[in-house]
Amino acid sequence: KEGDRLWSAAYHPVGGRPERYSVDFTLDRAIFRRSDNGIDTETEVSVSPEDDVEVRRITLVNHSSRVRHLSVTSYIELSMAAHNADRQHPAFNKLFIQTEALADSQVLLASRRPRSEDDPPLYVAHRLTTGPAGTGSAVGEGWQFETDRARFIGRGRNLARPMGAVQGLGNSQGFVLDPILSLRQDLTLEPGQRLQVSLVLAAGASRDQVLLLMDKYSDPHAVGRAMDFAWHSAQQQLQMLRIQPDEARRFQQLASHLLFPNTLLRASARRLEDNRKGQAGLWPYGISGDLPLVLITIGETREVALVRQVLQARTFWQMHGLSVDLVILNEEAGGYEQPLQERLEQLIQVHSLTAATDRAGAVFLKSANQIPEEDLKLLMAAASVVLVAARGTLPQQLRVPVEATEPPARMATKPAPMEPSAPLPFMELAYFN
């Protein structure tokens, strides 16, 4: 922010039209570049391979001929709960979060009170650090923070024009209805000057653990080392799996369809409507139904390239903490010789040598002619991603345009019968309240 002009490091949440804007997604980081009124902003987002820490390095460059006075404000909405629990009742989950500001170390700390003895403790810490990059830096005085979302946004406003951007932060902490973590630092940039700002977010099982991480990453050079380590770790994964960066990006693209299913790679609406079974119908086949499911149908030996690619993708996902179930449906005609079945078994055996054995998820090889039609419909409906080997390799199937499909019709509902309530007996009260 400069004066009345406000922009975000990426496009959202402020929006607007920057003079230049570009985004790069690599295996180790995401990079957002933009230019606004003579100020270049480059934001690098990465996750440390050795710590539970996300780092965001923002590089600001003053290309104008005058001194610029800027304010950098971070904004993080807290959930501190499982994704499904947060979606079902976000307001309830946030009631258990307490925030705390540590002025000596300029760290914001959030903790979640356990609801039961089985809930593991969870702490989150956030800090903002500045450091020179290139020709030098000039940093203003003062430390401001806010942990109340309602006070930060303000009445009748939104994140595109929050109240926290036009006035000082309220420095609130404790138990708030809608907790956030927000820090602000005022900066001064001379003409041609370059400055780096680092935003660090850490999670841990104890207060001491996250504070140690905050102390470790208080040095701007530690942020750079974490990003370098992330790059080297990504290169090691590519070498271990013997894949190229383009293949890894396709695996990430396929993972997005697993986590957020859509019509591009799911079964058709008609197949979804035809299914009459639930999750329990998967149990006889050893499939729990609790994990994202990938289904591959294959009928020819020459089509095994797709299976090999998805097996590599599954190992890649495991390395990044994503567990999935993979079902390979062999549609080869029955007979004494089954070359496709033997080839698939060999691929799965080789895959088991590189796949993690301590992670959830499994690979299931099933013969389509041995599964009832009702269960085939269930597998199709349960799968987040359905790949048909006859349609080509993974890159070819990911390039298929989205077809206009009609979603399944809603189930017919009948209104509940309305019955009159029985009258209550009249009570003689001195004060009827």
Q: Higher pLDDT residue, 180 or 3?
A: 180
Q: Is the pLDDT of residue 84 over 90?
A: no
Q: In the CATH hierarchy, which top-level class contains the domain 20-240?
A: mainly beta
Paired tokens of 215: 């102390």
The DSSP letter of residue 283 is: G
Paired tokens of 21: 């804007």
Predicted confidence (pLDDT) per residue in 24-76, tens digit = 999 999 999 999 989 999 999 999 999 999 999 999 999 999 999 999 999 99
Paired tokens of 27: 């295996």
Equal fold, 20-240 vs 245-398? no
332 pLDDT band, cuts 50/70/90, is confident
Length of the chain, in residues: 433
**Rounded CA gap, 424 and 205, in Å?**
55
The pLDDT of residue 432 is 66
Q: Is the pLDDT of residue 404 over 60?
A: no
Does residue 354 sit in helix, strand or coil? helix
* 167 in Cβ contact with 191 (< 8 Å): no
Tokens 């990453």 correspond to 217
The pLDDT of residue 193 is 93
Q: Is the pLDDT of residue 359 over 70?
A: no
**Rounded CA gap, 209 and 232, in Å?**
25
Supply the DSSP string of 169-207, one letter for each residue.
-----EE-SSEEEEEEEEEEE-TT-EEEEEEEEEEESSH
Sorted by sequence, the CB contacts under 8 Å of residue 274 that are 6+ apart come out as 377
Q: Is the pLDDT of residue 306 over 80?
A: yes
- The dihedrals phi and psi of 109, each to the nearest 5 degrees, come to -125, 135
Tokens 């946004």 correspond to 153
Average pLDDT over residues 160-178: 89
Predicted confidence (pLDDT) per residue in 124-145, tens digit = 999 999 875 544 444 545 689 9
The pLDDT of residue 419 is 81
Predicted confidence (pLDDT) per residue in 407-424, tens digit = 666 666 777 777 888 887
pTM: 0.79
**Rounded CA gap, 146 and 169, in Å?**
6
**Rounded CA gap, 363 and 358, in Å?**
14
**Rounded CA gap, 363 and 354, in Å?**
13
Nearest partner of 319 among 248, 230, 237, 226, judged by Cα: 237
Nearest partner of 202 among 412, 343, 50, 349, judged by Cα: 50
Predicted confidence (pLDDT) per residue in 85-131, tens digit = 888 888 888 888 999 999 999 999 999 988 888 888 999 999 999 87
Predicted confidence (pLDDT) per residue in 187-202, tens digit = 999 999 999 999 999 9
The pLDDT of residue 337 is 72
Domain boundaries, the chain: 20-240, 245-398
Q: CATH number of the domain at 245-398, out of 2.60.120, 3.40.50, 3.90.79, 1.20.1630?
A: 3.40.50
Predicted confidence (pLDDT) per residue in 259-299, tens digit = 988 888 888 888 888 888 899 999 999 999 999 999 999 99
The pLDDT of residue 114 is 84
The pLDDT of residue 135 is 42
The pLDDT of residue 410 is 66
